[in-house]
Amino acid sequence: MGPTIQPIPAEALPGRAAQPKELDAREVSTDAVDVDELEALLESAGFVAGTERRFSRTVGGRRMTLARILVFETVPGAQAYLGWLEDHVDDVIGNARPVDGLSVPDGTIVFVHQPNPCCHSETRLVFVAWKDGDTVKTLEIGGQVVKTSVVPQLISSLERAV
Q: Which of 21-30, 80-89, 113-122 has the lowest mean pLDDT?
A: 113-122
> Residue 61: helix, strand or coil by DSSP?
coil
Domain assignment of residue 8, yes or no: no
pLDDT at 96: 93
Share of the chain above pLDDT 70, in %: 98
Yes or no: say if 137 and 129 are a contact pair by the CB < 8 Å rule: yes
Domain assignment of residue 58, yes or no: yes
pLDDT in tens, 46-97: 999 999 999 999 887 889 999 999 999 999 999 999 999 999 999 999 899 9
Yes or no: say if 125 and 94 are a contact pair by the CB < 8 Å rule: yes
**Number of structural domains in the chain:** 1
Yes or no: say if 108 and 65 are a contact pair by the CB < 8 Å rule: no
pLDDT at 116: 75
The domain of 69 spans 19-161
pLDDT at 2: 56
pLDDT at 89: 94
CATH label of the domain that carries residue 156: 3.40.1000.70
pLDDT in tens, 147-157: 999 999 999 99
Domain assignment of residue 40, yes or no: yes
User: Which sign, positive or negative, has the C-alpha torsion 17, 98, 90, 43?
Assistant: negative
Domain assignment of residue 135, yes or no: yes
Domain assignment of residue 3, yes or no: no
Res. 1: pLDDT tops 60: no
- The neighbour count for residue 1, using CB atoms within 10 Å, is 6
Q: In 3D, which of 95, 80, 162, 93 has the Cα closest to residue 128?
A: 93
